Amino acid sequence: MLTKRDLLLRSAALAAITAATMKSAPVSAQTDVTPTEARAIAKEAYIYGFPIVDNYRIQHAYWVDRTNPEYKGGFNQVWNASRLFSPADTAIQTPNSDTLYSMIGADLRAEPLVLTVPAMEKDRYFSIQFIDYYTFNFDYAGTRTTGNGGGTFLLAGPGWKGETPKGIDKVFRSETELAFPAYRTQLFNPGDIENVKKVQAGYRVQALSAFLGQPAPKAATAIDFIEPLTPDQEKASLKFFTILNFVLQFCPTVTSETELMARFARIGVGAGKTLNVNSPEMKAAIEQGMADAWKELQDFERTEINTGRVTPANLFGTREFLKNNYLNRWTGVVLGIYANSKAEALYPIYRVDAAGDKLDASKNRYVLRFAPGQLPPVNAFWSLTMYDLPQSLLVANPLNRYLINSPMLPNLKLDADGGLTIYIQRESPGADKEANWLPAPKDLFWTALRLYWPKEEAVDGKWKHPPLNRVT
């Protein structure tokens, strides 16, 4: 028979076990959140999380899903494109078709990676854009930053505390445990393809332990990847937050986002958490929050992007550059995920014509004219690329011409005064103008002007891109 003392001890023990269990159990969403509060938090979390979720969709296609036509291979190895991007490439929005891509799906959990770059011709532009799973461009190697003389670089995750090994030229540090180094290597002309492939053959990656000739550390736990959403599903499915919570496990919270993540946790958004949809009212509130986010993006695009008050140069870069402006980061991802930071490339875009109307090739023809001496000022090269809407993919056409760029200048026809006019329309402008024709799709479209390694007058805004005019 238990004494009163035994009962007190048992009660204390049970209380201790309960407290320990509650402390170690995953934190669930709070139950004191009103639907109005949940709607506001869901909107904020959706704007914050969209780049992370859309990045996961692409990375899953590239490195995880072997049945996907976009699959490139396993993690921690270099994949090299053997051709320029075309309309057949559909996983990534707004690809360029000026450079051949090389890519690495980097898993930095067990140890850093060592990236080796060969020496190459001094006039060939290349870059390695280091992108984390927040989609920040956290650093660069390449012609502009490290030169064309070759190099050996260390890519480390947030948990690595080691010293820089001998033989390493520079260390690049990712805030997230998974990262995406994206290489671009300039192709001068179609006959240059084999030369680019030789450069790509010199892009190598190996684990730090292999580079040092040491035993490998214990392998990281295998990741049980979950199925991503399609682009359409990302817009309204509540599974969006399931994906976000999954990916955030590889994104340690940074100090500047501690309060933000605590606020998100109130509706069950955070690493390993479960979204709070315990009632029809909460479910409706979160869905409304997602719709509110899209409304804000549309308003932002109409009032800020299309008017030029906010340029694409403000939408891409490091966390420090973007100052945790999540609406800017999301807008950049929607316009063209993985775009470069402005020091590496500028992207004046044409979403409307000079009169402010949407670009519609089913109704109109357009011209873009660079006055004499006013071609885009670049250290590397420039290009104007055509994209359809709403997919923002390259446009199939009889010429298989997806862009007009500066390497094509010897074959373009200049105006009588030395200016350059580009004809943007569905049908050929005529044999005498076809060299300068950028074919458009059958209806809505937009174009991106890219300036690779822009000169200072482009970066500081002294050079202005010309308007896109409708032909009457």
159-185 pLDDT tens trace: 999 999 999 999 999 999 999 999 999
**Whole-structure pTM value:** 0.87
Q: pLDDT tens for residues 70-115?
A: 999 999 999 999 888 899 998 888 998 899 999 999 999 999 999 9
Model confidence band, residue 17 (pLDDT cutoffs 50, 70, 90): very low
| Cβ-Cβ contacts under 8 Å for 48 (sequence gap 6 or more) | 260, 264, 326, 330
Domain positions in the chain: 35-54+224-334, 72-212, 348-470
Q: What CATH number labels 348-470?
A: 2.60.120.1600
Average pLDDT taken over every residue of the chain: 93
| Mean pLDDT score, 289-318 | 94
Amino acid making up residue 229: L
35-54+224-334 adopts what CATH topology? VPA0735-like fold (1.10.3360)
- In CATH, the architecture of 72-212 is Sandwich (2.60)
